[in-house]
Structure 1
Amino acid sequence: MAGYLTTHVLDTANGRPAAGMRITLHALDGARRALAEVTTNDDGRTDGPILPQDRFAAGRYELVFHVGEWLDAQGAQGGQPRFLDEVPIRFGMGEDDHYHVPLLISPYGYSTYRGS
Structure 2
Amino acid sequence: MADQSTSNTQPTEYKSESKMKHIVSFVAMILLTVAAFVLVLRDVVPVAWVLPLMLGFAVIQVLLQLFTFMHLDQKGSLYYILFIAFGVMVAVISAAGIIFMP
- TM exceeding 0.5: no
Q: Which protein has the bigger strand share?
A: 1
Which of 1 and 2 has greater Rg? 2
